[in-house]
Structure 1
Amino acid sequence: MSRPEAPVEPVEPIIPAETDPAVKVPLAIEDWLAVILLATLAIITFLNVLVRYFTDQSFAWTEEISVFLLIVLTMAGGSVAFVRNHHIRIEILADSGSPRRQRILALISNSCVLAFFLLLTVLSVKLVVDEYVYEETSPAIGVPTWWYSIWLPVMAASISLRTIGIIRRIARAPLPAGTASQERP
């Protein structure tokens, strides 16, 4: 005879489900943009493989469009990675120490990210203006290259705005009780 088993109580997950931080502009914008870009990239690449397999020819425009889509996809993914705190960092430094130290390091690192993306925004705007003024065209399709380049300053500016929001949230977040009294500046 088998013994009746005791009811199993639900176990809390070791890693709790993460929730997105409260932001004014929904992160779903970048999420859906990434999904659409990745699907478009997969379809274009698949069609190019089929055409190459059956005709021994290739669509010349697929590489150009694919590079453009990958750049925008990377920038959209980077934007949500910063907001969700999934970006590359040295966790032994960022997540150790007192809450005050963690806040200071987070403010410093996010300020560096902000400076980089503001600089990238300004320089990429100059690039787009030069491509527009000198009427550069793409080698495969012959369309103006600023059509591709215009998205770099747009996405860099959006990451800058997201980073400003992160810095504001970090600066306004209250420290745990007793933290400020234990440490001296």
Structure 2
Amino acid sequence: MTAVLVLLSMQVIGRYALGWSFAWIEEVSRFFFVWAVYFGFVVAAAKDRHIRVSVQIMMLPPLGQKVMLTIADLIWLVFNGIVVWFGSIYIADMFQFPVISQTTGINLVWVQMIVPLGFLLMSIRVIQVMIRRWTDAETTVIDTRLDD
């Protein structure tokens, strides 16, 4: 996010104060922003802070909460596996048939690679949370509306 802030600040200052502008700055800042969003997903998954409706789960006893959260996480892992699988196929195709960025001239595979990579990293974090949920004394659902 710092890179996005610096690049966009350079673009604004350059355009309005200095009278110059580079088209590649906006495109590169978008690339950095997409990567930052996916890494944010990974951080949220590591802290078990992803979006969920938890009211009905909080009404269950602690063991029921663990079971329901584990079932939900297993479904999430299946979805992540599908995204990683088909995302990897897509990335392999992009290496074989490159799509080149208009302003930077780079192969967009390096930008798109965050999709399977991000979902793979999220899956690792979800597995870690599941293990922690069953081995630690953590017994209640984390309310995602509250800060740590």
> TM-score of the superposition, structure 2-length normalised?
0.82
Question: 2:134 — aligned with what?
Answer: 171
Task: Give the RMSD, CA atoms, in angstroms.
Answer: 2.0
Q: 1:175 to 1:149 in 2, by over 3 A?
A: closer
Counterpart of 2:117 (choices 132, 154, 164) is 154
Instruction: Measure how far apart 1:141 and its partner are.
Output: 1.3
User: Take 1:121 and 1:100, find their aligned partners in 2: how far apart are those partners?
Assistant: 31
% identity of equivalent residues: 22
Work out the number of aligned pairs and report it: 139
Question: 1:25 — aligned with what?
Answer: none
Segments of structure 1 that go 5 or more residues without pairing to the other structure are: 1-37, 177-185
Question: 2:71 — aligned with what?
Answer: 108
Instruction: Measure how far apart 1:56 and its partner are.
Output: 4.8
Q: What do residues 123-154 of structure 1 show as CA deviations (whole Å, max 9, x unaligned)?
A: 22112111111121012211111121223222
Mapping of 1:116-155 within 5 angstroms?
A: 116-155=79-118
Mapping of 1:10-21 within 5 angstroms?
A: none
Q: What do residues 32-51 of structure 1 show as CA deviations (whole Å, max 9, x unaligned)?
A: xxxxxx11110001001111
User: Take 1:84 and 1:152, find their aligned partners in 2: how far apart are those partners?
Assistant: 20
SS in 2 for 1:93: helix
User: Take 2:57 and 2:38, find their aligned partners in 1: how far apart are those partners?
Assistant: 23
Instruction: Measure how far apart 1:52 and its partner are.
Output: 1.4
Segments of structure 2 that go 5 or more residues without pairing to the other structure are: 140-148
Instruction: Measure how far apart 1:173 and its partner are.
Output: 4.5
User: Take 1:119 and 1:88, find their aligned partners in 2: how far apart are those partners?
Assistant: 20
Counterpart of 1:85 (choices 42, 48, 56) is 48
Question: 1:66 — aligned with what?
Answer: 29
Higher helix fraction (1 or 2): 2
Q: Which residue identity is paired with 1:123?
A: F
> Deviation above 6 Å: which 4+ runs of structure 1?
none
Q: Which has the higher contact order (CA 8 A, sep 6+)?
A: 2
**Contact map agreement 1:81 1:87 (CA 8 A) in 2:** yes
> TM-score of the superposition, structure 1-length normalised?
0.67
Instruction: Measure how far apart 1:169 and its partner are.
Output: 2.4
